[in-house]
Amino acid sequence: MSGGVDSSVTAALLKQQGYSVTGVYMKNWTASVAGYSCSWKTDFQDAKRVAVQLDIPFKVYDFELQYRQQVVAVMLEEYRAGRTPNPDVLCNQEIKFKLFLQTALDDGADMIATGHYARLVGGKLFRAQDSNKDQTYFLYRVSAKALSQTIMPLGTYTKPQIRSIAKHLNLATADKKDSQGICFIGEIPIAEFLVAELGPQTTGPIIDQNGKLVGTHDGAILYTIGQRHGLHVGGGLPYYVTGKDIMRNKIFVTTDLQDEQLWRHSIDLGDIHWINGPPDGTSRHEVCVRYRSAPVAITGMRKLSRNRLRLTLAEDVRAVTAGQSAVIYEADNHCVGGGLIV
């Protein structure tokens, strides 16, 4: 139980269905960063308050050390290398569906339950009914074994329905806003978090599509492909980041939305993960290259090496970013897996 409305209603629904439910709050991050307060105390109190309302046992698992080592440290190393990682994917893979799952099982649980918007059917992962809230993008690296030991009751509900249930039950979190920002860390802007963790960055040149110096950036690692805001390049048409040279600390931009540097017709993936084994080639597949991006049909899927894959797409995709996840679905909303964009 995170202290949010989704996990609160998850606990309530499971109790209504006759499960013996124990609420668990994961304490993964408690530090305030760069003047931004961590909300863990408020979240902890809200989770505990709902557990009291539901009359269920309540526990705290302290994973702060493991979260820093297995999520934050990896995330920082990826940014240092010029890539843009997704901490939510990392957290699900290493903390929620590995460390938390194993700790809960060792603690006597038969299964775990989460407030994710996703559907589990026959050991397979499917998109949620509420496409606006669907979270399968963040779950594609979870193992089939972990999913077989998990319940996700919210997959057939919409967010308004969950809010309505919470209000009907008078849960303390019924009107609480959804959390934003970095997984478990809070609403601090990523650039400020990186500077706080890695130290001040060296400024460098911003070069446009004509090779002209158009401004100065705050540190190459702080920018991502397709980024428009925060470039501090004034006047005229907006600029978009098309590339980064981490070694020379340069940022490359364009004012042309049709610039070929912004678009990709094929994507190479590394660190491939298939939930239920690789596709057999008989189904149509599509890929999402970022959370909530429109799925694009895959016309070719070629294995380059043991853990590397090239996808050919039916149409060009904008702002494909190294380090982000490309998540692959069958046409029936079945999430089969994916990999990290290289």
CATH number of this structure's domain 261-341, picked from the four choices 2.40.30.10, 1.10.3720.10, 3.20.19.10, 3.40.47.10: 2.40.30.10
Could you read off the pLDDT of 129-172 as tens digits, one per residue?
Answer: 999 999 999 999 999 999 999 999 999 999 999 999 999 999 99
Confidence at 187, pLDDT banded by 50, 70, 90 = confident
- Tell me the C-alpha distance between 192 and 1, whole Å: 28
Same fold, 5-168 and 201-254: no
Global pTM? 0.94
Q: Are the beta carbons of 171 and 8 closer than 8 angstroms? A: yes
Residues acting as catalytic residues:
91, 183
Could you read off the pLDDT of 285-340 as tens digits, one per residue?
Answer: 999 999 999 999 999 999 999 899 999 999 999 999 999 999 999 988 999 999 99
113 has a pLDDT exceeding 80: yes
Helix 73-80 / helix 190-198 crossing angle, nearest 10 deg: 90
pLDDT, position 186: 77
CATH superfamily of 201-254: Adenine nucleotide alpha hydrolases-like domains (2.30.30.280)
Residue ranges covered by each domain of the chain: 5-168, 201-254, 261-341
Domain 5-168: give its CATH code: 3.40.50.620
- Tell me the C-alpha distance between 257 and 48, whole Å: 49
Confidence at 230, pLDDT banded by 50, 70, 90 = confident
Taking phi over 0 as left and psi of -120 to 50 as alpha, with beta for the rest, 190 belongs to: alpha
